[in-house]
Chain A
Amino acid sequence: MWIHKWERDRRKGVDSPIPTQVVSNEEFIPRPQTGQQRQWERLIGELADQKSRKLGMSRRDYLRSSMGMATAFLAANMVYGPYWDVEAAETTEADAAQEKWPKGEYFIIDVQTHFTDGFALGFRSADFVRDMGFQLKDDADAYSFTNYVKEIFFDSETSLGVISGVPGREIDKSRAGKILEGRDRRGGILPSWLMSRRKNELNALAGCQRTLCQGNCAPNHYWDRTKNAPDFPALYDQMEREVKTYGIDSWKWYCHTDPGRSGNGFRLDDEKMAYPFYERSKQLGLKVFSVHKGYASQSRTLGHMAHPGDVEKAALDHPDLTFIIYHSAMKHGTTEPEFKEPGYFDPETGDFAWHADLMKIKQRNPEMKNVYCEIGSAFGTLAIAHPVMCQHLIGKNIKNYGVDHVLWGTDCLWWGSPQWVIDAFKRFQISDELCDKFGYEKLTQEDKAKIFGLNAARIYGIDVEAERRAFPNDALSKLKTAYLQQGGQRDNTAYGWVRADV
């Protein structure tokens, strides 16, 4: 039998600020709590009882406070190992968490943020989001640019967001041959023209640089069916439009999609398709290529082209270009069935599918400096679903590519405001055991500052100090202050369904 999580919690006297078991959205059978989850939940209850009594608070009020949140992280460490940075004082002193984790401590550049052109995608009510107990609006407004500004900039500490592309291509001309503009160019759920327009609007509003944007154009988007090859004149026209007219800051490629109906995807190391694009892009002065790798189920027949095996040659052949590998090439997300298949993750080596291949590229080519690992929808999901894999993800990225080559991304607002991911990374740490066994380094505050934003600032040419000076007085900061003063809050509220018999 299924019951509401809150009802089960009430029956069991549980009131955790962090979901301690997978919560269902009614569309799948909730998985029973594991032994560790039960232990975690019991510990939260016991610790909260003790501490709230000492403080003269109700347990419910206590668990809703920053001290309650710290208690949940502390209990998690007691069960899974010390991968959350939390001190006992934070569980009894309300100001301790604020002192230790002050807002604005880091300059955060989120290189993977999205909204849509008014389309509801269903992501915000995805199993994984609900598993974390978040109740997010999932209608078209929730995916709008307005909500993007609220969730990215008002509800989180994100300093600068890169509006990141999704698969889709623009149509350049009408059937009558007329050059199309704006919405007439179509271009999918988040077209290049729209990313550019919103970037310019927001930066103009703010009075400083708060957003960057990407362009969706890719080598197989315009196809000459007679030659069965890229329609280079059309492709170059679109490239020029995106760089010169739209002012994009990076390309966003999905090698495993085919919006131009070319009949295939493309590889980064394809000398006939990708290399001419690189050369043209260099001529246009744009040298940043953000590439989706991993999450292979997003393609009907071309999922294999999301494998990072083509990064090596492309990066070596073009040392003057920057390749940002999104999702760190993690092949399957935590909610995909393949994630739990034997062999996907090897606890002996810490390797998991396709991420390991990305790591080997760097191991083979230690001199290669132009490949970066982005951690959107990889760090956050693993932190909740598989803390050990999460430590391997960050540990290996840093060990192989260097802490200067790991980039912060969240894939939000697909998953609501990114603040929960930011909070998690602030507290995240790699355990002594894994450091000893696999040669990982403990993360320092300096490391986190690089990952959170300094690395991306270097790639995108952002003057962090200038931005820091400008931010407090920009219009966005003033609006945020007003919003918070009026009681504005994130709507990350736990709810959902769990098994009644656990």
Chain B
Amino acid sequence: MSQTDRLRSCKAIPALRPVAIKLHVKCIKRAALNLLNAFGVPAMVAIVCAIVFGDDAPERVVKLPAAVDPAAWGGDHVHQPMPQFITGDECLFCHRTNIGTTWPRNRHFLTLRSADPKSPALIALRENPSTREFADQVQFLLGGNHQNRFLRRTPDYGRLEILSASWTPPHGGKAGRLARTDAPHWDDQTFGKSCAGCHASGVDSQTLAFSAISLDCFTCHGDVDLEHSKDGKLAILSPQRRDPPRVVVSICGQCHIRSGTSRSSGRAYPNNFVAGDNLFRDFQVDWSDKHLDRLEPIERHILENVRDVALFEKNDLDCLSCHAVHEQSTEKHQQLAERAICNNCHLPDQPKAKTRPLGGRRIRLCGY
């Protein structure tokens, strides 16, 4: 293994990067001097970038085309009334077999779901003396593998209250546990202000009221025309229609970019985004390398791909190239030819099952 390979393999694990640099400082110095003598300043800059940014940093720095204005195309629904969209239950009257039977197990559905009294989270809440009285009031659970929150309806339209206590499911051999159980109380503000945009549908940014629990078909397919039954191309993201990558990343990005802010509402979720809109006309995102490099791999993976499409018009890859949303299948993912963005999560020249450990800065907006 060459010094460079050794350096790369060590650098590939962010947590070990400082150690790698320390151990190989002499090699780096020697290599830098040799490069400086042989090729001058550009090569020196390249190796410094490699140390600082990791494996694919040189590609990003050197090869990306010029950025375009991500807000330059399309429209938005900011300050417009919420469309009278067809609700998911109407959709499932027809799509009962191909979607209806699998949707209850889909993560996009489960992001906010009716609370099962027999779930470990509810049992723990019931068994804890300080939270016991709240257990029977819980109507919904929010969240997945990292953190669950407890919610209930309020008397008001489209509002939920969130319990201050939370549940961390069992993970990696650690038992599940309740957190923030001191002085538990219902909070009627947080869900609307922070969570509703991605855990409910049809959210009015003015009133913070939503019109449907969890993600309705509207979230990704927009205000679908019934005529789509005759012409599938009329429904956004339908198999018969090849939506441009910039449309796709806008749709997925409305929730999966968790570090943006609506310019018009100031909230962490988009203001009245309707699938087909250009998310970035109103949703502000820090696209800088500096920001990306601070993110943990999954967050970086999302934002980097979105940036490639939205800023650099790299249209060969969007979210749907790898992710089959309804099927929750990894088949497309596995079939895809290897490319640089894979290295957000996978280790180059390593078995695909081996992925980078979580690291970097987590976005504290919510617990996923």
What is the interface of chain A, defined by CB distance below 8 A to chain B? 116-123, 126-127, 139-140, 166-168, 171, 188-189, 223, 225-226, 228, 254, 256-259, 261, 263, 265, 295, 297-304, 335-338
User: Which residues from chain B contact A297 at a C-beta distance below 8 Å?
Assistant: 92, 96-97, 100-101, 104
Judged by a CB distance under 8 angstroms, whether B210 is at the interface is yes
Secondary structure class of chain A's binding surface, majority of residues: loop
The residues of B that contact A140 with a CB separation of less than 8 Å are 229-230
Of B92, B113, B230, which contacts A299 at CB under 8 A?
B92
How far is B217's CA from A257's CA once the two chains are assembled, in angstroms?
Answer: 13
Q: Does B306 make an interface contact (CB < 8 A)?
A: no
Chain A contacts for B155, CB-based, 8 A? 228
The reply to whether B90 and A261 form a contact with Cβ atoms under 8 Å apart is: no
Q: How far is the CA of A357 from the CA of B157 in the complex (A)?
A: 32
Residue among B92, B158, B211, B229 making CB contact with A300, cutoff 8 Å:
B92
Residue of B100, B214, B216 with highest tally of chain A CB at under 10 A: B100
CB of B93 within 8 A of CB of A298, answer yes
Residue of B nearest to A122 (CB): B94
A433 to B141, CA, bound (A): 48
Chain B stretch 143-161: residues in CB contact (< 8 A) with chain A: 155-158
Complex CA–CA separation, A299 to B94 (angstroms): 10
A226 partner residues in chain B, CB cutoff 8 A: 157
A336: contacting residue among B88, B97, B158, CB under 8 A: B97
**A300 and B217 form a contact (CB under 8 A):** yes
Which listed residue (B100, B114, B202, B217) contacts A298, Cβ 8 A? B100
Q: Are B226 and A263 in contact (CB under 8 A)?
A: no
A259 touches B97 (CB 8 A): no
Q: Which of A118, A127, A263 contacts B158 (CB 8 A)?
A: A263
B90's partner among A168, A225, A265, A336 (CB-CB below 8 A) is A168
Cβ-closest chain B residue relative to A127: B97
A-facing mask of B150-191, CB < 8 A → 1, else 0? 000001111000000000000000000000000000000000
The 4 closest A-B pairs by CB, nearest first: A300-B88, A257-B89, A297-B100, A119-B229
Question: Which positions 15-68 of chain B face chain A at CB distance < 8 Å?
Answer: none
Most chain B CB within a 10 A radius of its CB, from A189, A225, A263, A338 = A263
- Which one of A171, A189, A254, A295 contacts B84 once the chains associate, using CB atoms below 8 Å? A171
Knowing A120-B229, A257-B87, A263-B157, the reply to whether A301 touches B213 (Cβ < 8 A) is yes
A120 vs B157: C-alpha distance when bound (angstroms): 35
Chain B: number of interface residues, binned into ranges: 35 or more
> Within 8 Å of chain A (Cβ to Cβ): is B109?
yes
A210 to chain B minimum Cβ distance, whole angstroms, is 26
Report the bound CA distance from A167 to B100 in whole Å.
15
Once the chains bind, are B90 and A257 in contact (CB under 8 Å)?
Answer: yes
Complex contacts, A295 vs chain B, CB 8 Å? 96
Known contacts being A119-B226, A120-B230, is A298 close to B96, with CB within 8 Å?
A: yes
Closest beta carbon of chain B to A141's beta carbon, Å: 10
Q: List 16 A-B contacts (CB under 8 A).
A: A119-B230, A167-B90, A168-B90, A228-B157, A256-B89, A258-B212, A261-B212, A263-B158, A299-B92, A300-B88, A300-B100, A301-B109, A302-B89, A303-B104, A335-B97, A338-B101
Given contacts A119-B227, A189-B226, A225-B157, 15 further A-B contacts (CB under 8 A): A116-B229, A118-B230, A119-B226, A119-B230, A126-B97, A168-B90, A189-B94, A223-B157, A259-B90, A261-B202, A261-B211, A297-B101, A300-B212, A301-B214, A302-B89
In the assembled complex, the Cα of A499 lies from the Cα of B149 at a distance in Å of: 48
Contact B229 A298 (CB under 8 A): no
Which residue in A117, A139, A171, A263 is a CB contact (below 8 Å) of B213?
A263
Closest Cβ of chain A: how far from B92's Cβ, in Å? 5
Q: Which residues of A contact B202 (CB under 8 A)?
A: 261
Q: Determine if A225 and B93 form an interchain contact, defined as CB atoms under 8 angstroms apart.
A: no
State the CA gap A301–B101 with chains docked (Å): 12
A259 touches B87 (CB 8 A): yes
A259 to B85, CA, bound (A): 9
Q: Write out the residue numbers on chain A whose beta carbons fall within 8 Å of the beta carbon of B227.
A: 119
Mask for B212-251, Cβ within 8 A of A = 1, else 0? 1110110000000011011000000000000000000000
Per the 8 Å Cβ criterion, residues 81-134 of B in contact with A are 84, 86-94, 96-97, 100-101, 103-104, 109, 113-114
Given known contacts A118-B230, A301-B109, is B101 in contact with A259 (CB within 8 Å)?
A: no
Minimum CB distance partner of B160 in chain A: A263
- B209 interface residue per 8 A CB criterion: yes
The verdict on A337 contacting B90 (CB below 8 Å), with A171-B84, A261-B202, A301-B109 known, is no
Q: How far is the CA of A291 from the CA of B103 in the complex (A)?
A: 24
Q: How distant is B331 from chain A, measured CB to nearest CB, in Å?
A: 15
Q: Which residue of B lies closest to A254 (CB)?
A: B89
Question: Once the chains are docked, how many angstroms separate the CA of A293 from the CA of B155?
Answer: 28
CB distance from B223 to the nearest CB of A (A): 12
Instruction: Contact check, B226 vs A188: say whether CB atoms are below 8 A apart.
Output: yes
Give Cα A119–Cα B84 distance, bound, in whole angstroms: 19
- Which B residues lie within 8 Å of A189 (CB)? 93-94, 226, 229
User: Are A167 and B89 within 8 A (Cβ)?
Assistant: yes
